[in-house]
Structure 1
Amino acid sequence: MNLNETIKNIRSTCNNYVDPNLLAFLIDDDGHMGTNNILEIEGYGIGDEDSYEERLLKIHEKENIYLPLGMMTFMPIINECDIFSHEDYSLQLSKEEFEKYADEQEILFGILIKKGSDEYIIGKSDTCNCSIDSKFEKIEKNNDKFYQIIEKIANEKVI
């Protein structure tokens, strides 16, 4: 993965679901969300002239980074999931899939990039509800229609 190009690629189309200057979140090793105000973070060797991508690359050496790829909402009565990303999807889920993935709140989905590496995990976060307990949660890889769409979006955005 080329992290710099991946960040640029995601930022170029993320204004559909998040402010491009508030795209990335720092994630603790236990999965809890940290700040997403990358332009105001100090330290990490960041200079005033550093671009958003350069700042994020410097921070990434010491911190896990979460890059949302879209937002999803679930509609229980009809077992539907609407996905908003660079492309939008409306999925009719089986009852089992709906019970497995559904959330009462809108949630972000994306990739967690482990600090200092190119390794990433597809998952979701409950940051839309602004809870102090917000965290990243891995979505287990499988053959469900829902996961296949999320993985397709990730594959299109990761360079």
Structure 2
Amino acid sequence: MNLSETIKNIRASCNNYADPDLVATIIHENYCMGTNNILEFGDYGIENEDSFEKRILKILKHEHVFFAAGMLSFIPIINECDIYSINDCNLKLTQEEFDKYAQEKERIFGILIKKDSNNFVIGTTDRCGCKIDASFKEIEKSDSELYRKMEEIADKLIIY
């Protein structure tokens, strides 16, 4: 993965679902969420003149970073999941799939780049719920329609 180009691509295409300056969030080792105000973050040798991409690259040496790829909104009764991302869509889920993913009505989904690596996983955060204990939750890779759609969106954002 070309990290710098991936970061640029995510920021260039996120206007439908996130502010480009707030699209990245630091995720601590315990998967609890840190700051998403990367432009005001000053640790890890970040300097005022560093670009957004350079700041993220410095942070990634010490922390995991989550990049929002969109928002999931679950609609009970009709077992639907609306996805607001680079391309909005809605999916009709099986009852089993709906029960597995729809613990909350809304979640932010995206990719978590593991610290000091090019490795990433797809997952969600409950940042949109404004919880004090907001965290990242990895989505187990599966053949479900929802996972395949999240993976498809992530593949469009990642530059190799």
Please report the TM-score for the alignment, with normalisation by the length of structure 2: 0.97
Q: Which amino acid aligns with 2:17?
A: Y
For the residues of structure 2 that align with 1:105 and 1:46, how far apart are their CA atoms? 36
For the residues of structure 1 that align with 2:109 and 2:103, how far apart are their CA atoms? 12
Aligned to 2:49: 49
Q: Which amino acid aligns with 1:46?
A: I
Give 1:1-159 correspondences, 5 Å limit: 1-159=1-159
For the residues of structure 1 that align with 2:69 and 2:83, how far apart are their CA atoms? 10
For the residues of structure 2 that align with 1:19 and 1:103, how far apart are their CA atoms? 25
Where 2:77 maps in the other structure, the secondary structure is helix
CA contact (8 A) 1:32 1:136 kept: yes
Give deviations 1:42-69, integer Å, cap 9, x for gaps: 1312122111111111111111100111
Alignment gaps of 5+ in structure 2: none
Identity of matched residues, %: 54
Question: How large is the Cα RMSD of the aligned pairs?
Answer: 0.8
Alignment gaps of 5+ in structure 1: none
Q: Which amino acid aligns with 2:98?
A: F
- Tell me how far 1:156 sits from its aligned partner: 1.0
4+ aligned runs moved over 2 Å, structure 1: none
CA contact (8 A) 2:75 2:105 kept: no
CA contact (8 A) 2:107 2:124 kept: yes
For the residues of structure 1 that align with 2:129 and 2:29, how far apart are their CA atoms? 21
Q: Which amino acid aligns with 1:40?
A: E
